[in-house]
C-alpha cells in the first residue's frame, strides 16, 4: 500500500442536543497515535498555501473545526489526492513521509492539527525535489 492510500479521512463521534454539539477525538482510540502536539492555523487568506513539507517522523490528523480548507497529499512518485475538510467532525490522517499542502481556506477557517511528535525542525523536508529523492532512495 502506498502512502497516498494510507492517508485517509476519519469521522469522529459527536454528541449533541439542543445545547449544541461535542466532538470527541482521543489519541490511540480515534486516531492511530498518541497526541504529543496540538496547533492550529487561522487567518490564512484564500490564496495562501500552508504546509508545503513532508515529515520524516511525524504523523498528523488535520481537522477544520471551523470553516473549510483543502489538503493536497503527494507521495513523491507522481500520485496525489485532494481532500476537502468541511465538517468539524471529520479529519484527515496523514502518515509519515507524505508531502502536504493546505490551501483554499475559507475566511472563517480554523484548521486544528494533531501531531504524533513534539516539534523538531530537523525532521521537516521543505524542498519537494529533496523529498522525491529521499522517496526514490527508499525503494
Q: By the 8 A CB rule, do 32 and 127 touch?
A: no
pLDDT at 138: 80
Report the CATH number that the domain containing residue 131 is assigned in CATH. 2.60.120.10
Given 46, 53, 89, 118, the catalytic residue: 53
Q: By the 8 A CB rule, do 16 and 3 touch?
A: no
Average pLDDT per 10 consecutive residues for the chain, totaling 139 residues: 82 94 96 98 97 98 98 95 97 97 98 98 98 90
Residue 118 known to be catalytic: no
* Paired strand residues for 23: 14
Q: Domain of 56?
A: 3-137
Q: For strand 69-74 and strand 99-103, is the pairing parallel, antiparallel, or unpaired? A: antiparallel
- What's the structural domain count of the chain? 1
pLDDT at 13: 94
Amino acid at each position: 500500500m502506498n502512502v497516498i492510500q494510507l492517508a485517509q479521512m476519519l469521522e469522529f463521534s459527536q454528541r449533541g442536543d439542543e445545547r449544541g454539539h461535542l466532538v470527541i477525538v482521543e489519541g490511540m482510540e480515534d486516531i492511530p497515535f498518541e497526541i504529543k502536539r496540538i496547533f492550529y492555523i487561522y487567518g490564512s487568506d484564500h490564496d495562501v498555501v500552508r504546509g508545503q513539507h513532508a515529515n520524516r517522523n511525524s504523523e498528523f490528523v488535520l481537522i477544520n473545526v471551523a470553516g473549510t480548507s483543502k489538503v493536497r497529499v503527494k507521495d513523491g512518485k507522481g500520485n496525489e489526492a485532494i481532500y476537502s475538510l468541511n465538517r468539524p467532525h471529520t479529519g484527515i490522517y496523514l502518515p509519515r513521509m507524505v508531502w502536504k499542502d493546505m490551501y483554499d481556506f475559507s475566511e472563517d477557517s480554523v484548521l486544528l492539527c494533531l501531531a504524533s511528535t513534539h516539534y523538531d525542525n530537523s525532521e521537516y523536508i521543505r524542498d519537494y525535489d529533496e523529498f522525491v529523492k529521499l522517496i526514490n532512495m527508499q525503494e
